[in-house]
Structure 1
């Protein structure tokens, strides 16, 4: 999807100018799946192997759930045992009351067991507003519930969420902005059907629009802002003018993602490893990894 930039381009330019002068290069982080290529769940040794493969490039990952595939049960000891000092932003899935209750229970259980030394923060949901799973007010309420739950159990962790860049821009997300300690903006030029001549400018503009809108709502430029998901598929069908290939993925990384990192913005690449379990019927979904499912790097990740 492509959304109008009218009204926010000035803020985007101002934000980019401020970032260029104020911050060091943004970090490369990774979204991390919890399943093997065949769809079975990962265990602690699998996460340790993931960290070994990612360590030359990053030391931060994000996940999406605490209880699905018993994520925290196996991820938290891997974080503690890894010699690479990885940290995670861990996700709580806020939809479906019974699932949400399991998520909160697992969150507190494993924070109590392993502590917070390797936890950077907690996201409540991912693209909840984009899918229409909850209203902005409902999501904000759940974010505040999780924050209070953490405080009641002696944990002082920032709470945020991730959503599509346009949902931050359109004004409907203001209750979520107000409830957030940090922000993750997802932006995929591939899913906007952009070709190689437009993909970089589209991504940079979309991201700066999201940042500018959040800064305007918060009344300050001093916000914790990440690109929560971005990347490009290396296989599967085209989407509009966007061609899924390793060459284009590498170009997108070098131009768009190194570009935003040069402005001081941390990114979470979606995703660390290919996920063949999603199946070819899902189109490009199995092919978004910076590495294949055997942890082999597909293209150069230097900037």
Structure 2
């Protein structure tokens, strides 16, 4: 969805929207055992997802040989993939694009994309690098531009937390527009009402407010170029039974269904594209330590179980 198109609907009452956003899914690269997925495993994933979408996003170019394994499966099953390139922390004075993770992932994409260009929806460079403080805006811009030059016929952008697009941290991506660093036009904004401690029955409003904040600021900074920028929800979701609570946000399958019916269905109805986090439970994942210092279970965020069984009804209200 273009930035300038959604804001009038998000910021004020609007007539019925006839277009509908595109639903995609974040997709992990490991099996429940922790072993890497093969092409056959991805084909099974796509079979489970095909009634909901033909679009997924991944996060690394080299871990588990993701592009090597997923692109043939995508071609076989008629899917498109957003491929990810990871960028690690870098000294703020370093203007090179020599991060080891980037170099490795970039090389993998250059090796495995040829012949599968039609299966690549886009490439994202960095995943919440600004949120973590690993890079500055100008540094990230240079990495994105480097990839764009290598793949001139492919859309190249980035994924970060919604608030980094709303608070000015990412402004360089939209204000610097030169041959060496063209304006970034593909933006995945991650927005989790759950991690803001919002109760499930109110989470859709927090989610809408977050996306509106990111879109509004990008539109302001980009000015007359705003209609060239696609702003998509890069990640949003809710943990189901077995997951961890976070303040007023309570894990549970019923709560995940509530967020889906109001937040996911609502955003799609406003003609905003989004990626749900995530397609399948990742039971191999260890607990992580959240911002509150407590261990958080990240195994139960899937719409489907790790056996590819859907957990709840995903139909949207008419």
User: Could you state the TM-score of these two structures normalised by the residue count of structure 2?
Assistant: 0.85
Q: CA RMSD in A?
A: 2.0
Does residue 32 (structure 1) correspond to residue 27 (structure 2)? The answer is yes
Q: Which residue of 1 aligns with 2:140?
A: 139
Alpha-carbon distance between aligned partners in 2 of 1:21 and 1:108, rounded to the nearest angstrom: 43
Question: What's the CA shift for 1:197?
Answer: 4.0
Q: Which residue of 2 aligns with 1:14?
A: 8
Name whichever structure is richer in helix by fraction. 1
- Where 2:113 maps in the other structure, the secondary structure is helix
Alpha-carbon distance between aligned partners in 2 of 1:259 and 1:81, rounded to the nearest angstrom: 32
Alpha-carbon distance between aligned partners in 2 of 1:172 and 1:25, rounded to the nearest angstrom: 30
Alpha-carbon distance between aligned partners in 2 of 1:192 and 1:30, rounded to the nearest angstrom: 21
Q: Which residue of 2 aligns with 1:102?
A: 104
Q: Which residue of 2 aligns with 1:68?
A: 63
Name stretches of at least 5 consecutive residues in structure 2 with no aligned partner: 90-98, 176-182, 289-294
Does residue 86 (structure 1) correspond to residue 79 (structure 2)? The answer is yes
Q: Which residue of 1 aligns with 2:158?
A: 161
Q: Which residue of 2 aligns with 1:218?
A: 222
Name stretches of at least 5 consecutive residues in structure 1 with no aligned partner: 1-10
Alpha-carbon distance between aligned partners in 1 of 2:6 and 2:44, rounded to the nearest angstrom: 39
Deviations 1:136-167 (A, max 9, x none): 1111110011111223xxxx111111111111
Question: What's the CA shift for 1:292?
Answer: 0.6
Q: Which residue of 2 aligns with 1:8?
A: none
User: Could you state the TM-score of these two structures normalised by the residue count of structure 1?
Assistant: 0.89
Does residue 298 (structure 1) correspond to residue 311 (structure 2)? The answer is yes
Deviations 1:73-126 (A, max 9, x none): 1011111222xx1001111112262221111111111112x2311111110011
Rate the CA distance shift 1:115–1:20 in 2: closer, same or farther, 3 A.
Answer: farther
Q: Which residue of 2 aligns with 1:116?
A: 117
- Where 2:139 maps in the other structure, the secondary structure is helix
Q: Which residue of 1 aligns with 2:298?
A: 285
- Where 1:285 maps in the other structure, the secondary structure is coil
Deviations 1:18-74 (A, max 9, x none): 996666111211000000011110000000000000001001000011111110110
Question: What's the CA shift for 1:198?
Answer: 2.5
Alpha-carbon distance between aligned partners in 2 of 1:19 and 1:89, rounded to the nearest angstrom: 31
Alpha-carbon distance between aligned partners in 2 of 1:283 and 1:13, rounded to the nearest angstrom: 34
**Mapping 1:38-77, distance limit 5 Å:** 38-77=33-72
Rate the CA distance shift 1:42–1:19 in 2: closer, same or farther, 3 A.
Answer: farther
Alpha-carbon distance between aligned partners in 2 of 1:149 and 1:270, rounded to the nearest angstrom: 29
Alpha-carbon distance between aligned partners in 2 of 1:264 and 1:147, rounded to the nearest angstrom: 27
Alpha-carbon distance between aligned partners in 2 of 1:227 and 1:254, rounded to the nearest angstrom: 16
- Where 1:70 maps in the other structure, the secondary structure is helix
The correspondence for 1:246, drawn from 253, 263, 281, is 253
Question: What's the CA shift for 1:15?
Answer: 4.8
The correspondence for 2:233, drawn from 227, 236, 239, is 227
Q: Higher mean Cα deviation, 278-287 or 42-51?
A: 278-287
CA contact (8 A) 2:184 2:229 kept: no
